[in-house]
Chain A
Amino acid sequence: MATEIDINRGGPARAGVGPRGEKLASADGLDLDALAGLDALDIPTTERRPLATRAWSATWPKIGALALFLLLWQVVVWTGWKPTYVLPGPWSALREFGSRLGTGHFWDALVRTVVRALKGYALAVVIGGVIGIAVARFPILRTAVGSFITSLQTMPSIVWFPLAILLFKLSEAAILFVVILGAAPSIANGVIYGVDYVPPLLVRVGRSMGARGFSLYRYVVAPAALPSVLAGLKQGWAFAWRSLMAGELLVIVPGHPSIGADLQNSRELIDAVGVMASMITIFLIGVVVDAVFNVADRQMRVRRGLVAEGNSAVRAARGRGKGRGSEGGGDWPRDDDSGGGSSGEPTGGPYLESRVGVTTSAE
């Protein structure tokens, strides 16, 4: 098989086989083999590195950045710009944060805050999703409320609180109300833009296959809109989280400890270390949620070929292509009787190397 492949890629001519493009003289079976061989050459390779390596290379820059930030913070403290009872050093803040982890109160507050966030966000997803679909579907609705959604989105959520407190008093409902108002417009806009930017060609493809109305949405529009919807969901979360924090600072429900209430409490007691510890908690939750969204986003992009190729191409261009299982040499006009098993030093660069590597493994 390797014989035909190399010849068809421009190697020396052999009995019964012409240069690329000429028909093979033999029976059908051979043609098909040759075609399969050409296909093997055509398949792009994807690089797989061990999980530990990938995890480490994703983690160390973050650790480095964090260390740098803590160092800067410490330096500012050392300069004595502010007294330490208003600006404590990172070490005492982290120690306070660590000691809080052991208290029941901390977990009570954390769980309440997270539950509020999830509840508000889930409702916002439902409401924003329905509004988004309706606006994308019916032109009259778009004319009527399309631009209002964007102006709602740009409104700082904190301005809703006076109204929320009048409507719902200092209650969970007031917080929920503002969280939903904060997040839903972004989610709706994600859906609307997603539908707007579906490539017309794909819609034609769907219609040519007989998809109409709902089935067109199910098979073409919805999956094509997914990237934008996901971006809207992510932005919606950011708004929900901000609104919630603002809400917890303003709307303190007696007997309901929360991260925001703790933060406000620490400020009132001029407990700077406590303020910092609460901020660390808020920051960490943000980091965790961001990681979740990134995983979802990355998976989607990898599936659609929007990520892996670019990365590996960049790496290959830098001459770092590795781990492709290449065994044979990379120069084309090589005598190939050995079937690609000879251990020549690859001379064709990463591109050829990968092509030959695939041929070898396909045999």
Chain B
Amino acid sequence: MLESIEMRKAYGDTMIELAAKNPKIVSLQADLTGANGMKEFHAKYPDRSFNVGIAEANMVGVAAGMAACGMLPFVHSFGTFSTRRCYDQITISVCYAGLNVKIIGSDPGVGAELNGGTHMALEDAGIMRNLPGMVIFEPVDSTQLKSALPQIVDHPGPVYIRLFRKNAEKIFGDGYVFHWGKADLLHEGSDVAILASGVCVKEALDAADLLKSEGISARVLNVSMMKPIDKEAVISAAKECGALVTAENHSIINGLGSAVAEVLAENAPAPLERVGVRDHFGQVGRARDLMETFGIVAKDIAAAARKAVARKA
């Protein structure tokens, strides 16, 4: 079931609440305030809101300077432009300089829809993952986002938030509490473990249903933090299920699939199949059509699970 609130609205509303408590929070924008739900924030806190125009590299540099003087800047753009468009500025002025800037990338992957290939962030989390100290968070629904944001504010270093704009599938109930760096067990299972993120989590749950009818018991985990990755959850999935699948709205290169593969190779080798965008660029289309075209929906995850199970020694 889709949530009644858009992810960007949940983000903007929560930022307004957090800013009321923390006077250091400032928002920086590069002419896409609507996309990330911060219009109300900017109207409510005009003195703490800066729209630098279409100048992402400058935005990150300005944010770094603000952070160096004790402010807590949140910089925003589409996921493409808040990462790769200003990658060196994030690398040097933020990460290498040890400054605390939070980076928001909206409309990840298929979320870019009709904006097409130039706007389709399929490598954003991957390039952020390379940066020492960077945390990568992709909230699966608004409940998780709201629970995580105060912790992101308190975290003393940079965080990249992959923010899906529209209404997400509801995954968590009201009592949910986000645990930093921990994957969430959504469905218990013993034959194969599916580790998914973002819009692929609902697909993973549907895949588990498909597999159940075939007698395959699938564990489903929501991995909202690609970095630091929950090593324990990956290792116990390998040991207890013996086969794994990752599913993500991102390139399989340097994405969640890579992060999981690295943990497995060093700690608990087991068959792994990666579902994600297979080393090609994005294109225009509606999100659902693109997910089917890219092969990242439930039936693709189920097929990968069968393959992984078949590969067990």
A associates with B: no
Residues in chain A within 8 A of chain B (CB atoms): none
